[in-house]
């Protein structure tokens, strides 16, 4: 039963003062009887060494793990997930706190808890750790002095000395992902410029509109009352580790739509497809002065597939999010969420069905009108739309930089990417820019 699963509180934050906040929050939470705090130090991961620290009832133990393959995924599968199952079986453990190393992404950890099969644990049938534990909430710590600069930049973790050269993730990907996935936000603002504080707040209430925010001077001033107050304010409809549905509303949580301190949400919706070459030329408009962009796109050359676009700062990725309803078989349609089918019926086109484009762009320093103009320019014109209607076989021959045939890097590649999130286990036709 769900009520018998041990609750897990996930703490996340970027390196620096935010990570210090994670450590302080974990220390305060560990003071409650029955709370165990688990942290994996990945600073020596490139050497295949991980240090696991466990704190319970005032005692702390450190275990050095040597992994055959030093990577984040191996750490999850080989130690963190099995260890959660072992802790859940102990009667003395009432709550588990995961104080994540900055190299871990909270969303990836939660997805692994819920979906990845754990094998080889004594006296336990193989299955996800989510059978034994449940994600109670995710709390992200943020440093208001530099978070917004990180969230709009294109520096990689490797360039900052926090990952190997093979890890192409950007700092912006972590910054945006940690905030967006959080059920509650703890922001440290000592030393932050007033303008930075106001702009950071404007971004956060739009990026994570359901999440309560607590502003604290610095980690040293954080106390258990601050944490208790914040966690009690997590709403009933919080994600609590749940996966992201690419076909759900892009404005869930009713974020503010008006501009504040130069920060605004830009909506772009149309029932006309993009020309792939022109979208490829226009897409850089989403990478300068933009915190994040995400949404569903209809490409004229990929009429069956929902194209998912997602960016964080200067990194972007385009991939797949399944089929349009109009391209599904009757058996596939029977497995689709009824709410998605109901919403699609409201805008159904006699020829194109539910195909459409819906994007939401969170801007901090970009011009919304320039973004809209660039995206409108990338749409097919009347002659091209006529070809799509009456000669789709000709449209299928158009050059498509986002298709499987695109193997060469772009002229101006950007390192890093925002991870495509959806129900599929893998994506095809991806382009990392």
Using the predicted structure, report yes or no on whether residue 430 has a pLDDT greater than 50. no
How does strand 315-323 pair with strand 117-118?
unpaired
- Rounded to the nearest 5 percent, the helix, strand and coil shares of the chain are 35, 25, 40
Taking 80 as the threshold, does the pLDDT of residue 158 lie above it? no
Instruction: Please give the CATH superfamily to which domain 2-232 belongs.
Output: P-loop containing nucleotide triphosphate hydrolases (3.40.50.300)
For CATH 3.30.1220.10, the residue range(s) in the chain are 264-432
- The residue behind tokens 């960016």 is 311
Tell me which residue of 182, 253, 177, 234 sits closest to 10, measured CA to CA: 182
pLDDT at 147: 95
Identify whether the C-beta of residue 12 lies closer than 8 Å to the C-beta of residue 182: yes
Tens of pLDDT, residues 388-425:
999 999 998 898 888 753 333 343 333 333 332 333 32
Helix, strand, or coil here: 208?
A: coil
CATH 3.30.1220.10 fits 264-432, yes or no: yes
Rounded to two decimals, the pTM is: 0.86
Q: pLDDT at position 258, please?
A: 94
Q: What angle do CA 113, 315, 180 make, to 5 degrees?
A: 45
User: CB of 272 within 8 A of CB of 349?
Assistant: no
Q: Please, is 411 exposed, middle or buried when counting C-beta atoms within 10 Å of its C-beta (0-12, 13-18, 19+)?
A: exposed
Return the structure tokens found at 381.
């014109």
């Amino acid at each position: 039963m769900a009520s018998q699963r041990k609750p897990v509180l996930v703490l996340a934050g970027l390196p620096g003062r935010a990570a210090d906040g994670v450590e302080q929050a974990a220390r305060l939470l560990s003071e409650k009887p029955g709370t165990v705090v688990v942290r994996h130090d990945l600073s020596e991961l490139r050497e295949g060494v991980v240090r696991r620290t466990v704190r319970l009832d005032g005692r702390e133990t450190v275990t050095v793990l040597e992994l055959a393959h030093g990577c984040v995924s191996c750490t999850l599968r080989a130690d963190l997930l099995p260890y959660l199952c072992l802790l859940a079986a102990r009667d003395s453990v009432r709550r588990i706190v995961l104080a994540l190393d900055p190299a871990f992404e909270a969303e990836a950890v939660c997805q692994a808890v819920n979906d990845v099969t754990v094998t080889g644990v004594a006296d336990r049938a193989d299955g996800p750790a989510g059978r034994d534990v449940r994600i109670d909430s995710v709390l992200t710590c943020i440093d208001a002095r530099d978070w917004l600069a990180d969230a709009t930049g294109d520096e990689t973790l490797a360039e900052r000395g926090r990952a190997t050269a093979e890890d192409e993730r950007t700092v912006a990907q972590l910054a945006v992902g940690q905030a967006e996935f959080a059920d509650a936000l703890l922001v440290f603002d000592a030393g932050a410029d007033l303008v930075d504080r106001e702009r950071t707040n404007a971004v956060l209430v739009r990026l994570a509109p359901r999440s309560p925010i607590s502003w604290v001077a610095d980690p040293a001033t954080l106390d258990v009352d601050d944490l208790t107050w914040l966690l009690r304010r997590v709403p009933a409809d919080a994600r609590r580790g749940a996966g992201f549905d690419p076909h759900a509303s892009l404005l869930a949580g009713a974020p503010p739509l008006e501009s504040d301190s130069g920060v605004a949400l830009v909506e772009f919706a149309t029932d006309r497809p993009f020309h792939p070459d022109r979208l490829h030329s226009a897409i850089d408009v989403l990478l300068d002065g933009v915190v994040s962009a995400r949404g569903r796109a209809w490409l004229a050359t990929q009429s069956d597939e929902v194209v998912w676009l997602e960016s964080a700062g200067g990194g972007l990725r385009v991939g797949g999010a399944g089929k349009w309803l109009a391209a599904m078989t009757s058996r596939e349609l029977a497995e689709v969420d009824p709410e998605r089918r109901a919403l699609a019926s409201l805008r159904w086109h006699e020829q194109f069905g539910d195909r459409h484009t819906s994007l939401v762009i969170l801007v901090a320093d970009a011009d919304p009108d320039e973004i809209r103009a660039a995206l409108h320019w990338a749409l097919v014109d009347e002659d091209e739309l006529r070809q799509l209607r009456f000669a789709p076989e000709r449209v299928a021959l158009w050059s498509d930089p986002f298709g499987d045939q695109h193997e060469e890097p772009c002229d101006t590649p950007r390192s890093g990417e925002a991870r495509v999130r959806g129900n599929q286990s893998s994506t095809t036709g991806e382009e990392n820019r």
